[in-house]
Amino acid sequence: MARSIVIIGGGAAGGTAAQFAKKTDRNAEVTIFEKGKYPQYSKCALPYFISGKVEDVIEFSEKWFERAGIDLYLETEVKEVDLKDRVVIAEKNGESIEKKFDSLIIATGADPSVPPIDGIYDGEKIKKGVFSLRTLDDAKEIKNFLREVEDISIIGAGLIGLELSEAFYELGKSVKIIEILPSILPGMIDQDLAELVYQKIKDKVEIFVNHRVKKINGKDEVESIVVEGKDGDEKEFDADMVILATGIRPNTKIAESIGCKMGETRGIVVDKRSMTSIKDVYAAGDCTEYKDFVTGKAIPVGLGSIGVRQAMVAGVNAAGGNALLPEGFLQTRTTRIFDVEISAVGPLSKEIENSVQGKYSGKTLPHYFPGGEDIVIKTVINNSGEIVSAQAVGVGSALRINTFACAIYNKMNVEEFVKLETAYAPPIAPTLDPMIISADIARYRYGRK
Amino acid sequence: MARSIVIIGGGAAGGTAAQFAKKTDRNAEVTIFEKGKYPQYSKCALPYFISGKVEDVIEFSEKWFERAGIDLYLETEVKEVDLKDRVVIAEKNGESIEKKFDSLIIATGADPSVPPIDGIYDGEKIKKGVFSLRTLDDAKEIKNFLREVEDISIIGAGLIGLELSEAFYELGKSVKIIEILPSILPGMIDQDLAELVYQKIKDKVEIFVNHRVKKINGKDEVESIVVEGKDGDEKEFDADMVILATGIRPNTKIAESIGCKMGETRGIVVDKRSMTSIKDVYAAGDCTEYKDFVTGKAIPVGLGSIGVRQAMVAGVNAAGGNALLPEGFLQTRTTRIFDVEISAVGPLSKEIENSVQGKYSGKTLPHYFPGGEDIVIKTVINNSGEIVSAQAVGVGSALRINTFACAIYNKMNVEEFVKLETAYAPPIAPTLDPMIISADIARYRYGRK
C-alpha cells in the first residue's frame, strides 16, 4: 500500500515538505491541511504586496499542487491527531475529514506575538486600526484600511517593522517607529552598523529607539499612542493605525497535544533528520527551534530560508529518504530598506566570547573606476581565529555575506580566509574585495591581542 | 644595519611587494627599479582608459611611495644582478646605480606575445597600425592613433581582446575579432557559456571563431588583413588598425641570468614562500608560474588578483616575515563586456577528469518580484563529489563565484554545499540562490552516475 504523508500547514515549510516528499517517493499519498484560504505564498513578500511592488505573492498555485499529485486542502483546520491509530482529524466547512498517516509533518508556523500594551484590545478583540502582519489576509486588511490613514506608528524596528515603514512611506504616509531596544534591527546586526543604517534612513521615517509604547488611545479605534523614553519622558503621537511588529511566537498547539518535546525558545525540538521527539513525526519552519551553528544554542527558526531547508529535509525523510540538516543554522539574512541593503550571517558580536572584529568602509569598485558604491563590512572571529559571523551594509552585501556563510560553515580560520582569491576586474570589484580587507583587519587585531 | 630589499619592476606586483616589505620591517630600505616612466598603475584598467571611462589609472603616485619611505626609481633599467656580492646594477639616464641587497624580488612582468603572422613587421619594427596593449604607453599610443581609424581588427577573443572591442565600439569604431579557437574567452569559460556570451554581444562586434589571421596587408601601414576559416575559406577585411591580443610571455631575462629555475610554462618557479630556487631571491606576478589549486599543474600567473597576493607574500618574506601562499591558485576571474558580467573559478570542465556538471538558468530574484535579471550558473564537481570549478554569466556572477571560490578552497563536497544557507529576501535573492540550485543539479546528476 502506498505510504501516506500528512502535512499540517501549507505555508512555505509545509508546501516545500510536500514537494520533497513527493519527489522522494512518487507513489506516496501526500496530503496538506491548511487552515487559511491560500495555497503556498511568500510571507516575506507581504510588505511589497502592501506597497504595490508585488501583485501576486502566490508561489505555487492550487493547480500546481494538483499537477504534482499533492492533495491540498485549504480552509481546513486540524482538530486532533490520534497518534495511536495514526489518524489526523480535520474539519472543512463543518465537515470532518480523517486521514491515516505513516509520517506526519508539522508545519504550523507562528503567530504574531501581541505585546502587553494598554489599549490594544477593544473588549476581546484587537482594537480597530491595530494590525499585525503575518498572513496574506493581514496584508489585505492593512492595504484596505490604509486608504483612510495618514499617521502610522509601528511598534518594533525589526525586519518587518522597517520593511513596512518603507511600504507606508512609498504610499505617502507619515510613519513613526517605536523600538524599546537601543538600536534598530536589534536581532539582525550589531549596534554600530544599525547606527549607520539609521543615519541613512532617518529622513524618511521617524524612529524612536529606547522608547516603549505605554498606551494606545482611542475608544472604538486608534487615535494616538503614548510613548515613554528611557529617561521617563512621555510623548503622545497621533496615529490612525498601529502596527505590532514585535516578533512571533511558534504555533505549537498540535505538537504539544501529542507530546512533542518543546525547547527553550518554546519551539518544537527536532533532530538532524528534522524529526520531533516522536518517531515518524517531523516538524519544520517557524514552529520549530534548532541549534545555532556557531554557539550551539537553541534558536527559533524564524527565517524563511531556513524553514524551507528544514522542510526539504523533513519531506525527504518522511517519504523514506535520507537527508540531514547541517549541525546548526548560520542564520544568513538580508533585507533592503529604503535602498539600503543590509546583510548578516552568524550570531551578533555580543554573543561571541572574546570576539575580535575587523570593520572596513570602502567602495565596491577600485578608486579610479566611476560608479563604486559605499560598502561597510564587519568580520567577527572567535578566540581561535575562526570566522564566526559577518555583517555588511551596501550594494552586494548579501552576496558577500554568502561567501562568509561558506567560510563559517567550513570553520575557516581568518588566516586562510584572507588568502581567498576574489574575482577582480575594474568595472566589477577591486583587487582585494572589501570582505577580504575587513577580514584582514580582524586578523591584524587578533594577532596583536 | 638596516635590511636592504631591492625590487625589480614597479607594476602591481612590484609595488605591492614593496608596500608589504616596508609594512613588515619599518626599518628596511626598500628600493624599486622600474624601467617605465609611471609609478604603479592598473593594467586591467587600460581598456577603460582607452574608452575614456577611466581618466587616471595610477594606483599609487610617486608621492605615495615617497611618503611610504620606499625608494622608487622610474625609467631605470636593471642591467645586471651580481649574486655573489648581492648587488643590483641599474641604469638611469645613462648613469649607473648600484644597490646592495639582502633580499631581491623579481617582478618583471610579462610582454605581449607576438604571433607569427606574415606582415606584422615593417623591417625590424612592428608595422604602423599594429598594436599590443600591455603598458600605459601602449594605451596612450592606441588612443592617439584611434582618431584616424575606422576599422579595427583584433586578433584574439580573450579577455583583453573583448574588453578592447567594447572600448572601440563605444568610440564608434567598427570592430572585428578573429579567434583561432572554436569559442570566445577560451581560457576563461567553457564553450557552452561562451556561446551564450557570444549571442549577447554579437550584434555589437563581429566575431570570427575558428579563424586564423594569415596576413596583414599594407606597405608602410596596415591596410587590410587576410583571414582563413577552418574550412580553408579565405576572406580579406579592411583594417586601419590591428590589435594583437594573443596572450603574454613572462619576462624572465634577469631571473634566467642569475640561474633561477624556470618552469613548464616558461615562468619563474616559486615555492610557498614565493621564493625562487635561489635563496633570498623572490618573484611575484606575471613573470612567475605556480600550481593550480585543483589540478596541481603549473599555470602562468596571469591574473592581477593572483599577482598581488603573491607579491604580498613575497614582500613579507623578503622583509624577514613569514607568509605563505595557498597550496595553489583558484584563478577566480571576472569581466564585464557590453554589460554582460562573466565570472569563473577553477579549471575549465575539460581539464577535470570524469567531471559532473550542473547548469541552471534562472533569475536573480523570486519570480514574483519585479526586476530579476537573467543568470546562468554552472557547478562542476569531480569524481569524489568535490566542487572544483564554477562559471557564471549575469549580474552578480562575480560575487557568487567568490562563494564557489571559498567552497573550492575548503574542498567542500557538493552534499555539503547545497546545505549552505544563502541570504534570502524578495528584493535581493530567491529562497535558494541560483548557485545552490546549480550545485543541486550537479549533485543529482552525480548521484545517478
Could you say which of B55, B343, B420 has the minimum Cβ distance to residue A423? Answer: B343
Helical spans, DSSP H, in B171-301 = 191-201, 253-257
In order, the DSSP letters of B134-149 are -SHHHHHHHHHHHTT-
CATH architecture type of domain B341-447: 2-Layer Sandwich (3.30)
Instruction: Name the CA radius of gyration of chain B, rounded.
Output: 23
pLDDT single digits (tens) B287-325: 999 999 999 999 999 888 899 999 999 999 999 999 999
- Residue A1: the pLDDT is 83
pLDDT single digits (tens) B30-39: 999 999 999 9
Mutation target to probe the B interface, by most B beta carbons within 10 A, among A416, A431, A432 is A431
User: In angstroms, what CA-CA distances link B174 with A276, B228, B237, B277?
Assistant: 67, 20, 11, 48
| A136 vs A42: CA distance, rounded Å | 9
Residue B1 has pLDDT above 90, yes or no: no
pLDDT single digits (tens) A406-417: 999 999 999 999
Angle at alpha carbon of residue A399, lines to B404 and A283, rounded to 5°: 85
Direct distance between the N- and C-terminal alpha carbons of chain B, in angstroms, rounded to an integer: 65
Q: The whole model's pTM is what?
A: 0.96
A44 is an active site residue: yes
- Residue A436: the pLDDT is 97
Cβ contacts of A188 on chain B, cutoff 8 Å: none
- Residue B397: the pLDDT is 98
Q: Give me the residue spans of the domains in chain B.
A: 4-111+248-318, 114-244, 341-447
**What amino acid positions of B are annotated as catalytic residues?**
44
The stretches in chain A having pLDDT less than 70 are none
- Residue A5: the pLDDT is 98
pLDDT single digits (tens) B335-360: 999 999 999 999 999 999 999 999 99
Residue B123: pLDDT band with limits 50, 70, 90: confident
Range list of β-strands (E), A306-373: 333-337, 340-345, 356-363
Q: Under an 8 A CB cutoff, do B427 and A332 touch?
A: no
- Residue A302: the pLDDT is 85
- Residue A322: the pLDDT is 95
- Residue A143: the pLDDT is 96
Q: Looking at domain B4-111+248-318, does it have CATH number 3.50.50.60?
A: yes
- Portion 319-378 of B in contact with A at CB < 8 A: 325-326, 329-336, 341, 343, 345, 366, 368-370
- Residue A325: the pLDDT is 96
| B93 vs A318: CA distance, rounded Å | 80
Domains B114-244 and B341-447 share a fold: no
Using CA atoms of B165, B171, B175, B179 in order, give the dihedral in degrees to the nearest 10.
-10
SS3 label, residue B292: strand
Report the CATH number of the A4-36+56-110+249-318 domain: 3.50.50.60
| B416 vs B418: CA distance, rounded Å | 5
- Residue B302: the pLDDT is 85
Q: Which percentage of chain B shows pLDDT scores above 70? A: 100
Exposed/middle/buried for residue B84 (C-beta within 10 Å: 0-12, 13-18, 19+): exposed
Helical spans, DSSP H, in B171-227 = 191-201
In CATH terms, the superfamily for domain A339-447 is: FAD/NAD(P)-binding domain (3.50.50.60)
Cβ contacts of A416 on chain B, cutoff 8 Å: 326, 409
| A225 vs A127: CA distance, rounded Å | 13
* Min Cα–Cα distance to chain A from B417, Å: 8
Strands B4-8 and B29-33: parallel
List of residues 6+ apart from A281 with CB closer than 8 A: A83, A103, A104, A105, A106, A258, A260, A275
Instruction: Name the CA radius of gyration of chain A, rounded.
Output: 23
- Residue B434: the pLDDT is 98
Report the CATH number of the A114-244 domain: 3.50.50.60
| A433 vs A424: CA distance, rounded Å | 8
- Residue A321: the pLDDT is 96
